[in-house]
Amino acid sequence: MARTVALVRLMRPHHWVKNGFVLVGVLFGHGWTDAKLVMQAALLFAAFCLVSSAVYALNDVMDREADRRHPKKRERPVAAGRVSPSKALGFALALALAGLFLASRVSLPALGFAVAYMALNAGYSAGLREVAILDVFIIAAGFMLRILAGTVGLGIAPSHWLLLCGLMVTVFLGFAKRRAELGAGRTPRGETSAHWESKAMDRNEEHVAARSALANYTPALLDHMIWLSAGGTLVTYALYTVDNVTILTHGTDKLAYTVAFVLYGLFRYLYVLYRRGGGADPAVEVLRDPHLLAAVTGWLATALMLIAG
C-alpha cells in the first residue's frame, strides 16, 4: 500500500490539470458536438498525463540529491527513499510508453508533439534548466506543445492570437514561479520586516543551491518580466476576442466580456504571489485559492455559453 501511494505521488496527479491545454482546440474549435473528436481529445489528455508523469518521475531521479537539501522537496518519493531510483526509472519508462501509445492512437502529429514534449523536458532536465530565461521559455514551450497537440494533432486549425496568448500566459506563470522561489511574500503577522527578510534570504540560499539558474535572476528583473508578460497575456487575449475571424468563427462578438475574468485572474495571481507568498505552483494555486478558481470557472462557463449560444 505504501509503495502504491509513493508511486502515485511520483506521478504528481495534481499537475494533470496543466494538460487541460490539450482541450483548448475542442473548446474554441466547436468540436464538442463531434463525439469522435471529443473521444480523441480525451485520449490525448490521458496521453499527456502519462508522459508528463514520466517526466516528473525522471526529474525526481535526476534531482534527488538537490531535493534532499530542499525544505519541501525532500519529501518527494525518490529523495525520501520511498522509491528507489531504478524503480522510478522503470516506472517512468512504462508511463512514457503507455502515453506515446495513446497519442499514436489519435494521430501521427499528436504522437510527434508528445515525443517533442518528452525530448524538450529531457533537455531541460539534462541542463538547460540552469540557463536563466531559457529555462522559463522551455517550460512555456511544453505548454505550447500541449496546445498544438490539441489543435493540429486533432485536425483543428489553431488561432494565431490564441497561440500568442498561450505563449504569454505560460511565460508569465514561469517567471512568477521563479519569483516565488526567490521569495515575494509579505511579512507575516508578528514578525518584523528585518527578521522576515533574513529568513527569506536563508530560504533563497537553499533555492539557489538547488537550482543554479536562480543565481542569475534578481527580484527586480523578474518583476519586469512578470509585468511585461502579464500585459502581453491580457492584450493578446483581448485582441483574440475582437478579431474578425474569431467573431465569424463563433458567431458572436460578445467574447470580449470574458476579458474581465482574465484580468481579474491575472491581478489575483499577482496578489497571491506578492502578498501571500504563493505562485510557485500554478496548478496548486488555482485549486487552493477560491478567487482564482472562480475566475477560471467563470471564464470557462461564460466562454462556453457564448460560443455554444
The mean-pLDDT minimum among 2-11, 68-77, 135-144, 174-183 falls in 68-77
| pLDDT of residue 302 exceeding 90 | yes
Lowest mean pLDDT among 1-10, 32-41, 114-123: 1-10
Q: What is the pLDDT of residues 19-58, one digit of tens each?
A: 999 998 898 888 888 899 999 999 999 999 999 999 999 9
Summarised one tens digit per residue, pLDDT across range 138-168 is 999 999 999 999 999 999 988 898 899 999 9
Percent of the chain with pLDDT over 90: 58
Place of cell 495513446: 102
Q: How confident is the model at residue 184 (pLDDT cuts 50, 70, 90)?
A: low
Q: Grid coordinates 485549486 are at which residue?
A: 287
Note the pLDDT of residue 209: 44
pLDDT of 208 > 80? The answer is no
SS (H, E, C) 246-300: HHHHHCCCCHHHHHHHHHHHHHHHHHHHHHCCCCCCHHHHHHHCHHHHHHHHHHH
Cα dihedral value 194, 199, 203, 205, nearest 10: 60
Is pLDDT at 299 greater than 70 in this prediction? yes
Q: What does the pLDDT average to over 115-140?
A: 92
Q: Return the DSSP state at 308.
A: H
Which of the two residues, 201 and 305, has the higher pLDDT score? 305
C-alpha grid cell, residue 109: 502529429
Q: Which of 8-12, 75-79, 135-139, 212-216 has the lowest mean pLDDT?
A: 212-216
**Which among 136, 231, 228 is positioned nearest to 175, based on CA atoms?**
136
Q: Where in the chain is the domain with CATH 1.10.357.140?
A: 1-158
Banded pLDDT at 200 (limits 50, 70, 90): very low
pLDDT for 212 equals: 62
What pLDDT score was predicted for residue 185? Answer: 53
Instruction: Name the residue among 179, 240, 244 with its Cα closest to residue 207.
Output: 179
Count of helices and strands (H, E) across the chain: 14, 0
For residue 289, pLDDT over 90 is answered with yes
More confident residue, 158 or 117: 117
Q: Does pLDDT of 128 surpass 80?
A: yes
Mean local confidence (pLDDT), 81-98: 92
Return mean pLDDT, the chain: 87
User: What is the sign, positive or negative, of the torsion defined by CA atoms of 237, 238, 239, 241?
Assistant: positive
Distance CA 278, CA 177 (A): 9
Phi-psi category of 78—alpha, beta or left, where left has phi over 0 and alpha has psi -120 to 50?
alpha
Close Cβ partners of 256 (under 8 Å, ≥ 6 residues apart): 238, 241, 242
Residue 135 CB contacts under 8 Å (≥ 6 apart), including other chains: 124, 128, 129, 174, 213
Q: Is the pLDDT of residue 119 over 90?
A: yes
The domain 1-158: what is its CATH number?
Answer: 1.10.357.140
pLDDT category of residue 189 using cuts at 50, 70 and 90: very low
The pLDDT score that the predictor gives to residue 191 is 46
Does the structure show a pLDDT above 50 at 187? Answer: no
